[in-house]
Structure 1
Amino acid sequence: MSTRTRRLAGATIAGVAALAMAAAPSFAGDGNNGHGKGNGKAGPNGVVNIQLLSFNDFHGNLEPPSGSSGRITTKSGTVDAGGVEYLATHLAQARQGHPNTLTVAAGDIVGASPLLSAAFHDEPTILAMNKLGLDVTSVGNHEFDEGYKEIQRLQNGGCLDDGQDGENNQNSCPDQKEFPGASFDILAANVIEKSSGKTILPAYTVKDVNGAKIAFIGMTLKDTPNIVTAAGVAGLTFTDEVKTANALVPELKKQGVNAIIVLIHQGGVPNSPVFDAACGNGGALIPGSSPIIDIAKNLDPAIDMVISGHTHQPYVCNIPDPAGQPRLVTSASSFGRLFTETEFKYNYQTRDILRGTVTSSNMIVDRAVPKNAAQTTLISEYQDYVRPIASKVIGRINDDVTRTQNAGGESQLGDLIADAQLADPSVVTGGEKPVIAFMNPGGIRADLTYANSPYGEAPGDVTFSEAFTVQPFSNYLVSLTLTGAQIKDLLNEQWSGTNAERRKILQVSEGFQYSYSGTTLGEVTLDGKPLDDNASYRVVTNNFLQGGGDGFPTFTKGTNVYYGGLDIDAFANYLSGIEGGYTPGALTRITGN
């Protein structure tokens, strides 16, 4: 099925009254957006039609994502979607008949990627984006997983020294050729290097499309330091999104550029879980869970539209600007399952977008189209490169081990990972072993399935590839000392502070138990004994949490901090040492509601 048959519930922004978050009615306006009016003629004194294709949160999903991550739920059922071979085909089809077209993204193109990309520091994803014709993207929070120097390398090219091929389960430049870097612009307007006072990458870029000059400002969310490892953002300052973008408007206008689009890795959540390309008809964004609303409401009226991301949600919205003019805000879900097709007219006289002519729809990247041959070749090459790493059998399970949480928030896989961290010898210092392990639930990205056999291994065998899919961040384990009172503070942070709206229940190791009711912490015990507020306890976690990530600042108060090995190595080593394979037990460590 072609991309044209997968257009769902689009929106036309023309003629919209000041209805924040409502989808615009389907009729064309007069083309007047407050900055000028087109005369309908082509050429330097008239207007030109321009197409903008956009997506976000690709996360290195070169192969079609599996399970729910590879489906889009519509009002009439589910559709298998995603995979760069299909995304490239859909984008090519969408461009047909559109000589003036740009393709842009809103961050997290790399990071938290499947092993096929992550094993090579996401180099194949950059190559795939080059091939599908990406013109510009903003950084997202996951672009900082390996630090900002790595983002710069992905932009500029070059190889990393990973030792012997794949010996550490990563292998930069596996073909022995110099990695060329991105042929598209990566923007970071609100990410400042403290030592130089400069942005780590350009703040904006101006694209010339048949004489139409269009500026793109790229930003990540200002709270990026709270959701990535501390080491990944060391030495950086993340500035306010609205202030950053608004400050660049006069600079662009001085250059004669009035058409301005923001690419921002921050988003919203529709109040309908069923995919609907428009934000009306039950799909409006939820104010308390949608930071993009206040951002869009306060961006300078000269900014013509906002391409957003981060929340992995689909929407095409009108959120009026401070002058009351309609302004498009979009997001295309995640993992390459959707892209947004936006069309508008550009007025050569005013050098601006005629905002009343903007139309936009989210498009499903279904798999009923031919695969893009260039992407298929790229994937095949890296499948060969990754096989020695991915196919290693590291252990066994005797049943599915899932992320599904009980009423208290505990999961089988959370128990397993926490136990693996507690048993890891790399975090033992001075002979002092940790007695409690904590794992953030958001870092557990997939289930372990008994029947899965991607490399022909026996059912129950767990390959490195499967383990990596569970823990794809390559975080370091860290041991530190906390008091009993501080550990209770941590537990209370699960439902307070930044976690007040949506609680995050930490997964814990065997021997540690606690209860809670609502937001009231109950009994906390270690090996059956009440935790002593004044005693010191050695704990282990990952460096993301240790840096205060996910709203757990108490971790930063730990003393005698000691860095160990990678979390994925601890997981693999623990599984490999279980005689007869791992059987999930009863969930009894956390009791709550």
Structure 2
Amino acid sequence: MRNLLAALLLGGTALLPVKADTVDIQLLGINDFHSALPTSFAMTPGGPVEAGGAEYLAAHFDRLQRENPEGTLRLAAGDNISSSTMNATLQHDEPGIEALNLMRLDASSVGNHEFDEGVAELRRMENGGCHPIDGCARPNFKGASFPYLGANIVDTTTGKPAFAPYIVKELKGIKVGVIGVSYKNTLKEAPGPTTPLEARDEAQAVNAYAAELKAKGVRTIVVLIHQGGGQTGGGLPNQCNNLAGPIKDIVAKFDPEVDAVISGHTHNPYICEINGIPVTQTSGHTRELTRIKLTIDRATGNPTAHQAENITVTHDIEPNGAIAALRRESDQYAQRLLDRPVGLIHRDLTTIRNAAGESTIAHALADGRLAATSSPETGGAQIAIQPPYGGGIGGDLLVHPTGNEMSNLVTHGKALRVVPFSNMLVTMTLTGAQVERLLEQQWCGQSTARVLGVSKGFTFTYDNAKPACDKIDPATIKLNGAVVNPAGRYRVTANSFIATGGDGFSVLTEGTERVEKVRDIEAFESHIRANTPLQPPALGRITRLN
């Protein structure tokens, strides 16, 4: 004891605790979760293995955080919801958000699919509450416990970000700034209503807020970006074989103060570096998670070294019990909805197209849209259109000869597979001249023809030998046998995706007196119920020459 006291009085410091010059933090990242509660598979050097599932992802999050309990952030690079399983779609992704809450996510950037059902529904995902039509799938749904970040998503009425541009977290005495952005065409491709929001340049937004963070004394800066690329010729999750795609040019423009980038959107895994910055992505759907380790100089707050890897979400671990229970509950709830009977079909309705590009399913969907929006209260539609397979049609509606006496029964689940995108129907006024431009846009500006399904009573002829943008003879465009007047005004119904210019149908953005009250799935199911057993509509509404 005397020796210890003497040492202290003499100024000896060897026995006092000394702070290390550096500190290690880890970033655990995912992208494109898409409410993926079920398990999947992942590619490894030894081939594909069973992997993924929210309950296993949560277990791996916990396992990795135990290695650095006070120095870990859990982050996501957008598309947490939508474009997912039928079960998730039926429940408006409420179980997916709850699963991420149970994973204790710290922050996520927005992605394009966050906007699939419009801004109002995304705000519900953030803040909680029940769906205005379907109610709550999860009791007392409270919304996300983590912030959505969108530094480049601007409210044009205020000029300010519509979402928090960044967060700052302090880990082991180090301030870490996390900026979130999505790709600049995010809102142009969103099927839901996004007015008055606007997505702007990704790198400009990142650099502006990186400067703001630096001014606040933050020197460790992480970017979550919902934009990506891919390895040329393919590659395994921990490789970087000649990275290509938008992410390369975007990150090259980032302020050098950016220290790590977790990317998403393209579902192509890679571990790369751009200008010395680690840039990562997983294949999404919980197959892998990213770990980036940063060694940070305490004096400057700047990282001095980094390591990055994609870790397969294997099943050799005890799954998270709370999320496993959530998955079972949501599966049971969804199955009851999927099995609900709707009506009968007489014969198959398919996406098979004739020489003119018509299909029975596309015309049937258009007929249902017209019926659902023709009343003055729902829009007063005279014409309805349906984009082809991929732009609003998920598949066929078939009679299944299984020995069941109700083989032609249509359940809600079967109807939802045909109409999986939860679009609203938008009825608008177009002039006859705009209707002609709409029809020309089936070819004009398209990489491949996108022939629309059209409602009963609407007909036209196109000449396939003529150039794109000049295939339609206006004299052949008729409504109930009468030639459409270029100066006339017509009420036209389209799904919200193309109504906002999606799939190149930009003329629809010019439509006025817009009414939006009916969802696409409701229109289709009402049409089946009202016409049970539904007959396939006759083709011949569209005529092709040459």
Q: TM-score range by the shorter chain?
A: 0.7 to 0.9
| Structure 1 range deviating more: 311-320 or 508-517 | 508-517
Question: What's the TM-score once normalised by structure 2's chain length?
Answer: 0.79
Q: Give 1:255's aligned residue.
A: 216
Does the CA contact (< 8 Å) of 2:118 and 2:192 recur in 1?
no
Q: CA deviation at 1:298?
A: 0.9
Relative distance call for 1:388 and 1:44 in structure 2 (3 A) is: same
Q: What's the secondary structure of 2:382's corresponding residue?
A: coil
Distance 1:315 1:405 in 2: 39
The offset of 1:139, in angstroms, is: 1.3
Q: Distance in 2 between matches of 1:218 and 1:514?
A: 46
Q: CA deviation at 1:375?
A: 1.0
Deviation at 1:106, TM superposition (A): 1.0
Determine the C-alpha separation between the residues in 2 that align with 1:96 and 1:102.
Answer: 12
* Counterpart amino acid of residue 505 in structure 1: R
2:252 is aligned to: 297
Asked if 1:447 corresponds to 2:395, the answer is yes
- Residue number in structure 1 paired with 2:263: 308
Shift of 1:245: 1.1
1:241 corresponds in structure 2 to 202
Correspondences of 1:511-522 after superposition (within 5 Å): 511=459, 514=462, 516=464, 519=468, 522=471
1:427, 1:478 within 8 Å by CA — same for their partners in 2? Answer: no
Per-residue CA distance 1:458-502 (angstroms, 9 max, x = gap): 6553322343344344322123343554344335545665x5xx5
Matched, 1:131 2:102: yes
Tell whether the 8 Å contact from 2:478 to 2:484 is kept in structure 1 after alignment.
no
Cα distance in 2, alignment partners of residues 302 and 213 from structure 1: 13
1:203 corresponding residue in structure 2: 165
1:106 aligned residue? 77
1:358 paired to 2:319: no
Match of 1:534 in 2: 486
CA deviation string 1:208-235 (max 9, x = no partner): 222332211012222233112463x223
Residue of structure 1 equivalent to 2:55: 85
User: d(CA) in 2 for partners of 1:247 and 1:133?
Assistant: 28
Q: Is structure 2 residue 388 aligned with structure 1 residue 434?
A: no
Contact preservation (8 Å) 1:137, 1:187: yes
Deviation at 1:140, TM superposition (A): 1.7
How much does 1:260 deviate? Answer: 0.8
Q: What are the Cα deviations for residues 243-297 of structure 1, in whole angstroms up to 9, with x where unaligned? A: 111111222112221111111122234443x55325644x632xxxx33232111
Contact 1:119–1:171 under 8 Å retained in 2: no
Could you tell me how far 1:312 is from its partner in structure 2?
A: 3.2
Change (3 A) 1:278 1:533: farther
Does the 8 A contact of 2:88 with 2:94 survive in 1? Answer: yes
Structure 1: distance between partners of 2:348 and 2:252: 46
1:365-404 per-residue CA deviation (whole Å, 9 max, x = no partner) reads 4567654321121123334444543321223467876668
State yes or no: 1:340 paired with 2:340: no
Please point out which of 180, 196, 221 is paired with 2:142: 180
Q: How far off is 1:299 after superposition?
A: 1.3
CA distance in 2, matches of 1:462, 1:43: 71
Q: Which runs of 5+ in 2 are unaligned?
A: 1-16
Structure number with greater Rg is 2
Shift of 1:316: 2.8
Change over 3 Å in CA distance of 1:251–1:432 after alignment to 2: closer
2:280 matches 1:330 = yes
The correspondence of residues 426-575 of structure 1 with structure 2, limited to 5 A, is: 426-429=373-376, 433-439=381-387, 441-444=389-392, 446-448=394-396, 461-483=409-431, 485-493=433-441, 503=448, 505=450, 507-509=452-454, 511=459, 514=462, 516=464, 519=468, 522-523=471-472, 534=486, 536=488, 538-575=491-528
Quick one: structure 1 residues 576 and 44, their matched pair in 2 at CA, closer, same or farther if it must change by over 3 Å? farther
Q: For residues 591 and 344 of structure 1, what CA distance do their matches in structure 2 show?
A: 62
AA of the residue aligned to 1:389: L
Structure 2 equivalent of residue 349 of structure 1: 299
Match of 2:14? none
Amino acid at match of 1:276: L
Classify the secondary structure of the residue corresponding to 2:27: strand
Q: Aligned partners of 2:472 and 2:173: how far apart in 1?
A: 68
Query: How far apart in 2 are the matches of 1:182 and 1:413?
Result: 37
Determine helix, strand or coil for the equivalent of 1:201: coil
Superposition deviation, residue 555 in structure 1: 0.5
Matched, 1:141 2:89: no
Match in the other structure for 2:13: none
The SS at the match of 2:187 is helix
**SS of 1:226 mapped into structure 2:** coil
Q: Larger relative contact order (C-alpha < 8 A, sep ≥ 6)?
A: 1
2:43 touches 2:236 (CA, 8 Å); kept in 1? no
* 2:289–2:312 CA contact under 8 A, matched in 1: yes
Shift of 1:507: 3.4
1:47 to 1, 19, 22: 22
Residues 71, 79 of structure 1: 8 Å contact kept: yes
2:125 is the counterpart of 1:154: yes
- What SS class does the counterpart of residue 243 from structure 2 fall into? coil
Alignment correspondent of 1:266: 227
Amino acid at match of 1:220: S
Q: Deviations over 1:70-107 (max 9, x none)?
A: 55567876555543233323434444534333221111
The count of aligned residue pairs is: 518
Asked whether the 8 Å contact 1:420–1:571 carries over to 2, the reply is: yes
SS in 1 for 2:326: helix
C-alpha distance in 1 between matches for 2:21 and 2:540: 68
Check 1:129–1:560 CA distance in 2 against 1; reply closer, same or farther (3 A cut): closer
RMSD: 4.1
- SS of the equivalent of 1:420 reads helix
Q: Tell me the amino acid that sits aligned with residue 126 of structure 2.
A: Q
Tell me, yes or no, if the aligned pair for 2:292 and 2:306 is still in contact at 8 Å: no
Answer yes or no: is 1:425 the counterpart of 2:372: yes
Q: Check the 8 A contact 2:440/2:472 in 1, yes or no.
A: no
Pick one of 222, 226, 232 that aligns with 2:184. Answer: 222
SS in 2 for 1:224: coil
Distance in 1 between residues matched to 2:348 and 2:460, nearest whole Å: 24
Report whether the alignment pairs 1:97 with 2:67: yes
Higher mean displacement: 561-570 or 431-440: 431-440
CA contact (8 A) 2:345 2:535 kept: yes
Task: Look up the equivalent residue of 1:343 and give its one-letter code.
Answer: K
Percentage identity across paired residues of the two chains: 35
Q: Write out aligned runs for 1:384-423 (5 A).
A: 384-396=332-344, 413-422=361-370
CA distance in 1, matches of 2:460, 2:50: 41
